[in-house]
Amino acid sequence: MAGFNEKGQWDGHYEQNAEHIDWLCSYETLRKLVRDHLWNWPPPIPAILLLGTGLSTFAEDLYDSGFRLITVIDFAEEPARVHLQRTERPPRHGIKVFQRDVSDPEWPDVDELGLQYGMVVDKGLIDCLLTSPKGMAAASAAITNVWSRMTTPGVWLSVSHSPPRDRRDLYCLTAAAAEGSSSVYWHQLKVRRVRLPPLEYAAAFTAPGEETVEELAEEGDEGAAGGSPGEAGPGGGRGGGGASAGDGGDGLGVSGFADDVAYIYEMTK
């Protein structure tokens, strides 16, 4: 995963790959969860923040489904250019696109919109930030930045390759909270495990294979650490991860990585 935190890495990737590639679980799996939340949301429908969607049509699909306040942020130039192009033909004026690093504390162009976000979605954002030499600091900054721009209540769906024992304390910023340097608090944190089609299937078929989603219990075969599913505030861990978000390097959680599994962290502010 080295280099996934670097803009040049992604710019080079998109120069060589003009088609969208789904990392971790598919956007179709996420789309179902997003729609379930938004269709049951008390009026008005909240603004949506999509982080690092690459060349996917996720933003445009949501817009065409009737969700008209969408902000897209991507680190790389090509996705931002492509999304801007898509907002013009056909006109999708409710989609705003920005190229920026979500770990930067100041988002002046985004904040000028005057929006707070009730729904946030990312896929692999935290995993990529953790590949930096200062990955824990970058990931913690991104979590704080996103949290501060969410409504209460608000929901963040964040997909990771790593299981709860490597991520729960990080999403809750447990170590920072223990030092009194974080105000992030999640009213609830749920985890879903996505079973992906085996790599052999992807190599043999062009059509995407079926993904199955299951909710994880608080304690189970994934070794979840941190607060309970009902209360997941900072410092709520009962041992385990603590300041370390994982077993490898800067919190990558490489010991828990499996290429046929992804995890969806649903955090409610």
Domain boundaries, the chain: 7-182
Instruction: Report the run of H or E that residue 142 belongs to, with start and end.
Output: helix 135-148
Are 23 and 161 spatial neighbours (Cβ–Cβ below 8 Å)? Answer: no
In the prediction, which pLDDT does 180 show? 80
In the prediction, which pLDDT does 71 show? 99
In the prediction, which pLDDT does 36 show? 97
Joined together, the tokens standing for residue 8 give: 């040049």
User: What is the fold of 7-182?
Assistant: Rossmann fold (3.40.50)
Sign of the CA dihedral with 121 first, then 69, 142, and 131 last: positive
CA angle 211, 67, 33 (to 5 degrees): 25
In the prediction, which pLDDT does 7 show? 55
CB neighbour list of residue 84: distance below 8 Å, 6 or more residues apart: 97
In the prediction, which pLDDT does 117 show? 99
225 backbone φψ class: left, alpha, beta (φ>0; ψ -120 to 50): beta
Residue 15 Cα distances to 4, 10, 18, 20, 219, angstroms: 15, 9, 7, 12, 43
Ranges assigned E (strand) in 33-116: 47-51, 70-74, 95-99
In the prediction, which pLDDT does 247 show? 37
Note the pTM of the prediction, 2 decimals.
Answer: 0.81
In the prediction, which pLDDT does 4 show? 53
The amino acid that residue 242 corresponds to is G
The sheet with strand 188-195 has its strands ordered as 95-99, 70-74, 47-51, 117-123, 150-160, 261-268, 188-195, 212-215
Nearest-angstrom CA–CA distance, 56 and 53 = 6
Counting Cβ atoms within 10 Å, is residue 90 exposed (0-12), middle (13-18) or buried (19+)? exposed
10-residue block means of pLDDT along the chain (269 residues)? 52 58 83 96 97 92 96 91 92 96 95 98 94 91 97 98 95 84 92 82 53 82 42 38 39 58 97
In the prediction, which pLDDT does 194 show? 96
Joined together, the tokens standing for residue 218 give: 């608080």
Are 143 and 129 spatial neighbours (Cβ–Cβ below 8 Å)? Answer: no
The amino acid that residue 259 corresponds to is D
In the prediction, which pLDDT does 8 show? 56
In the prediction, which pLDDT does 210 show? 84
How many residues would you count in the chain? 269
